[in-house]
Amino acid sequence: MNVRGTAAVAQAMVRAEVPQLVFASSSSVYGEREGGPFRETDPVERPISPYAATKRAGELLLSSFHYAHGTAITCARIFTAYGPAPAPRPRDSQVRGEDPARRGAARLRDGSAVRDFTFVEDLVAAWCARSTPTSGSRS
């Protein structure tokens, strides 16, 4: 969702007194970087695409809604999600398939790198767990 859409959802959330929101951000906010693993504290000031910039802008916008209105906001930075019928993308043509030893891991065809994928049902389960507050929890 673009920045204007994120703002509209946040405003509606405040008007309707919805107590919390889980925002689907993206690992793209980290931009180009060497090595791994990623950490939430890694710099995110230099997005390299308009998509990454809008996701980071959404995170910042929702952070301001949290401070201004006390709403609970979770920004989930999603890494390479896939599902039962993924849309083909040019870069996917270099992936040779899942590594049977690790759910969601795939190797590039030349064997040079392993990339983790996140199955969409696992994302939904995590979001549902996050959106069900437990006694004494803080967001």
State pLDDT tens for residues 52-111.
999 999 999 999 999 999 989 988 888 878 777 645 454 444 444 444 444 455 555 565
Q: What are phi and psi of 65, to 5 degrees?
A: -65, -35
Nearest to residue 44, comparing CAs of 5, 118, 22, 52? 52
This prediction's pTM: 0.70
51 in active site? yes
Predicted local confidence at residue 84, as pLDDT: 75
Q: Report helix, strand and coil shares of the chain as percent, to nearest 5.
A: 40, 20, 40
> Does the pLDDT at position 138 exceed 50?
no
